[in-house]
Structure 1
Amino acid sequence: MVTMLILILLPVAFLLPPGAGAGEIIGGQEAQPHSRPYMACLTIRREDKNFRCGGFLVSENFVLTAAHCNGDKITVSLGAHNVKQREQSQQKISVRHRIPHPKYNRETTNNDIMLLQLEHKAELNEQVMLIPLPPAHQRVQPGTVCSVAGWGRTSALSKVLPDMLREVDLKVLDDEACLKYPGGTYRNFKTRTMMCVGDPKEHKASFKGDSGGPLVCGETAQGIVSWGPVNGSPPRVYVRVSTFIPWIRATMRKLQP
């Protein structure tokens, strides 16, 4: 059984596909304020429910996130650290176009990637910056230590959501770690479009709340928080961003004014 990784403000039961639950930073620490100026906090309205996801700024007017974070209306907050405060650094921008990948599969969570075109360009400064994307089809070496951040819950048992951005370092695993994991937990794992991340021996993971946020390797956004076991245990599954570079570039070109 797998879980979507969404930071939920209201009950999740009606927001996710059948058999899915929700995701968070487990075993991490508070990030240095504004040390990740590419981070976006998404407030999503879907029917009569509100929830939040993560995302990251890849162009002055485009944010990348997970397709399962789609909704009827999305507002992006850039330059945030404490999402409960109206920090002077924050820029709130409405989303003009939501473009989930045309082959996104809600049942298997394959191609779980979405571009958001903002109503207007973000103002880039020390608190709001872009993050580079990898070259097309570049693969991250197993054993590489990357990091992920989000405003999600800090334990599988706690329902309290932290106000501050939190982060954790995670190891990229060989695809086989997910493919051959006992019990069929990762039966929907696709090596071309997904990454297997997080040492199962360590109690560290993205979980309830970090969907759509970037897995950062070096200075590059190599992954997007996507799904994993319902109990929050690693490894977790991330979108392999490099596979989608041609689609990302073509979509942004098409929509640029």
Structure 2
Amino acid sequence: MDQHLFSLRYFLPQSEQGIIGGHEAQPHSRPYMAYLAIWHGNNSSFCGGFLVAKNFVLTAAHCNGDKIIVVLGAHNITKNESSQQVIPVRCQHPHQDYDKESHNNDIMLLELESKASLNGDVGLIPLPVAHQQMPPGNVCSVAGWGRTSAYNNLSSDTLQEADVEVMPDSACPRNRRGIYHDYNPSTMMCVGKKEKGKSSFKGDSGGPLVCQQTAQGIVSWGSEMGTPPAVYTRVSTFIPWIRKTMRMLQP
């Protein structure tokens, strides 16, 4: 166990995108969740991710870094839990068309240096069928260790979760001066009812949007204040890319 990794946890700066309006998850109820400790030189940040094969974690492309260490089987990320598996990333595979300005194609596969041991605390989450649509009105869930309020910089030691509703694309209007001007319905999902006030937020990037027990979305971006809706990468669009990339890298 890398103790240095966990001492860093107290002063990690925030990544691009905790859960607003959520609650603590039942420990190890989401065995697919991954915590990503990311370094850019001497600077560190963190993201979420999710295990899709024994040696692959799916996350957002903007969660890249010079070095990434993945922690699986965690609930309280500041504690040395016996359930945790700490595995360095061998190689980062961001989508070749990722655009950091528009957030388009915000998806990345992380190839792990060794295979995860699957057990009750660490497991895989299924991916959707290619190009499957998740109709508006479906209630899904999101989880992460990120910030729980726009009014402080505190992220959560324990995994937080919230139920969020899939919204029509029109709820993320592409007004030139609005925050959703780069919204792309073919590669993104608009999620979270404004009135409910529940949303992913800074530090949750890369975590999964789980609908009907499949990973339909990846936390990507949203408003500076964490007000819903937030924007998620539409995983079903990228199933051919995910399958091809994993096939190419399998020994």
Fold equivalence (TM over 0.5): yes
Aligned-residue CA RMSD (Å): 1.6
Q: How many residues align?
A: 243
Q: After the TM superposition, which segments of 4 or more aligned residues of structure 1 sit over 2 Å from their partners? A: 7-12, 179-183
**Structure 1 CA distance, aligned partners of 2:117 and 2:89?**
15
Contact 2:173 2:180 in 1 (8 A): yes
Match of 1:113 among 100, 103, 107: 107
**Structure 1 CA distance, aligned partners of 2:31 and 2:199?**
21
Match of 2:172 among 178, 183, 189: 178
State TM-score, norm by structure 1.
0.91
| 1:147 and 2:141 aligned | yes
SS of structure 2 residue aligned to 1:179: coil
Residue identity matched to 1:72: D
> 1:191 aligns to what?
185
How far the C-alpha of 1:180 sits from its partner, in A, is 5.4
Contact 2:207 2:219 in 1 (8 A): yes
**Structure 2 CA distance, aligned partners of 1:242 and 1:9?**
35
Contact 1:205 1:232 in 2 (8 A): yes
| 1:247 and 2:237 aligned | no
> 2:209 aligns to what?
215
Residue identity matched to 2:204: D
Match of 1:50 among 29, 35, 44: 44
How far the C-alpha of 1:10 sits from its partner, in A, is 4.0
- Unpaired runs of 5+ residues, structure 1, are 1-6, 16-21
Contact 2:20 2:198 in 1 (8 A): yes
SS of structure 2 residue aligned to 1:41: strand
| 1:89 and 2:76 aligned | no
> 1:33 aligns to what?
27
State TM-score, norm by structure 2.
0.94
**Structure 2 CA distance, aligned partners of 1:164 and 1:181?**
37
Contact 1:214 1:222 in 2 (8 A): yes
> 1:226 aligns to what?
220
Residue identity matched to 2:210: V
How far the C-alpha of 1:179 sits from its partner, in A, is 2.4
Contact 1:8 1:209 in 2 (8 A): no
Match of 2:159 among 151, 165, 177: 165
Match of 1:202 among 196, 204, 207: 196
Partner deviation per Cα, 1:141-164 (whole Å, 9 max, x = no partner): 100000000001111102222210
Matches within 5 A, 1:64-103: 64-103=58-97
**Structure 2 CA distance, aligned partners of 1:160 and 1:189?**
28
**Structure 2 CA distance, aligned partners of 1:183 and 1:229?**
13
Partner deviation per Cα, 1:1-29 (whole Å, 9 max, x = no partner): xxxxxx994445xx7xxxxxx33200000
**Structure 2 CA distance, aligned partners of 1:11 and 1:57?**
24
